[in-house]
Structure 1
Amino acid sequence: MPYVVTEGCIRCKYMDCVSVCPVDCFYAGETMLVIHPDECIDCGVCEPECPAAAIVPDTDPRAGRWTQINAEYAQKWPNITQKGTPPEDADAWNGRDGKAALFSPAP
C-alpha cells in the first residue's frame, strides 16, 4: 500500500514530506511532487507532515487517478532528497479545489 501525492500538492509543493522520508521516494515536478510506488515502504511518516493534506494511501478513494500519475512521473522527474523552498504563493493555493487542471508534466 504505497502512499500517493494527490492534486492538493499542486502549486503548494511544501516538501515537508521529503524531510521525513526514510527511503527518498519523492520526485519533483514543476508544480507538485510524486511518490515512486516501488520505492515507498508504506511507513506513513509523510502523510501527517503535508500541510496541504495531499498525501494519502493508494487505497484511499482520493488517490484515484493520482496513483497512475505518481507511478508515471516518478519515472520521469528528478528524485528529491531534501526539502526545498516552496513557491512564494503556496499558502494562497493550499486548500483550493480543482487544481488538477494546473498539473504540469514538466520536471
Structure 2
Amino acid sequence: MNAESDPKHLSRALSELIALRGWAGVRGQAQLNADWNEVAGETFAAQTKVLGMKRGVLNIGVSNSALLSELASFHKMTLVENLRERRPDLKLRDVKFRLNGQLGSGG
C-alpha cells in the first residue's frame, strides 16, 4: 500500500477537505463580519466593512474620511478591546481603517 491509499482518521480527512474547498475561510470571514458588526454597533457597521485580517491586524473599509478620522481617533482602542474580549482566538494586535468609497454609494 502507498501513503495515499492508507486509511486516514476521519477528522484528518475532513480537515483536508475543508481546507481544499476553502470552506474554513468563508466561515471565518462570515464570523469575523458578524463579530465586527456586533462590536461596532449599528451606526458604524452600516458604514464600514471588514476587508480582511492579516498578521493580527484587522482591516476595516470606511465609507468616508470623516468617519475614518472619528473611528481612528476616538473609538479604535475600545473597538480593539471589545474584539479581543469577544474573540481571544484572533490574537488581534490592531485595527486599521481604510477609506473605501464604494461603501458610501450603498455598495
TM-score over 0.5 (shorter chain) = no
Give the TM-score, by structure 1 length. 0.33
Would you tell me which structure has more strand in proportion to its own residues?
Answer: 2
* Greater RCO structure (CA 8 Å; 6+ sep): 1
* Structure label with greater radius of gyration: 2
TM-score where L is the length of structure 2? 0.33
